[in-house]
Amino acid sequence: MLRRLFFIILWAIVTAGMYMALVVSPPAAVLGDSYRIFFFHLPNAVLAFFSFTVTAVSGIMYLRTKNIAWDYTGSGSVKLGFVFGGLALATGWAFSYEAWGTRWSWDPKVVATFVMWFVYIGYIMLRRSVDDETRKARLCAVYAIVGYVSVPLAYLSSRLAYSLHPESIGLTEIMKMTAVIMVAGFFLLYLYLLWFQTRLARLLRLQGLET
């Protein structure tokens, strides 16, 4: 019952955010309607960084406690981070194409985020290359901690070097509210999917299947 209520609240917030993003929010002064991509880019980017942070923290906790539940959490979160990161790159590409007419730019923010995304592809590949559960969990925990250096580099890249990536696009109050609702809705979606991933990992392990 509680899970069903959470699911209803989750989709109510996401639906409200999407309605505000596509219908209620007015066109931007310079970018017109194309700026609406921002409302989808922002939550995906936030959750890509957050997902990988959870993976690194889970790695630290696994090494400290040897509790396999932390490994399930880290594994589930990195898979979600991979999806959210890919969507962040795709929506960022679409936004830059509409704003600047370029399909790809060697912008520090774009390149650093792309590198971060590939670091976590490495995590997934490492996980699939090791059979022993304990060794897999230990190696993935260490990889997640070491690979996490790519996250602050991607986040701070636009501050450390000249970047076309905007720090602000001049949002009005209704636009800011829309952005907050979208991030909140996607965050609840992340929590639901992470719960599902960890539960699935436990079931697969009980059946002796790969996680």
* pLDDT score, position 96: 76
Query: Around Cβ 170, how many Cβ atoms within 10 Å?
Result: 11
Q: Are 116 and 85 in contact, with CB atoms under 8 Å apart?
A: yes
List phi, psi (to 5°) of 163: -145, 145
Element (H, E) at 102: none
Q: What pTM was estimated for this model as a whole?
A: 0.87
* pLDDT score, position 203: 85
In sign, the C-alpha dihedral spanning 15, 18, 22, 28 is: positive
* pLDDT score, position 210: 60
* Rounded-to-10 torsion of CA 73, 83, 14, 158: 100
Which residues are CB-neighbours of 135 under 8 A, at least 6 positions away?
A: none
Look at residue 28 and give its three-state secondary structure.
strand
How confident is the prediction along the chain (211 residues), in pLDDT tens digits per residue? 778 888 889 899 999 999 998 888 888 776 777 778 889 999 999 999 999 999 999 999 999 999 999 999 999 999 999 999 999 988 888 877 776 666 666 677 788 888 999 999 999 999 989 888 899 999 999 999 999 999 988 888 666 555 555 555 567 888 889 999 999 999 999 999 999 999 888 887 777 666 5
40 alpha carbon, distance to own chain's centre: 12
What is the C-alpha radius of gyration for the chain, rounded to an integer number of angstroms? Answer: 19
Cα distances (Å, whole numbers) of residue 68 to 18, 58, 59, 147, 162 = 37, 10, 10, 20, 42
Residue 71 CA to residue 193 CA, distance in Å, equals 16
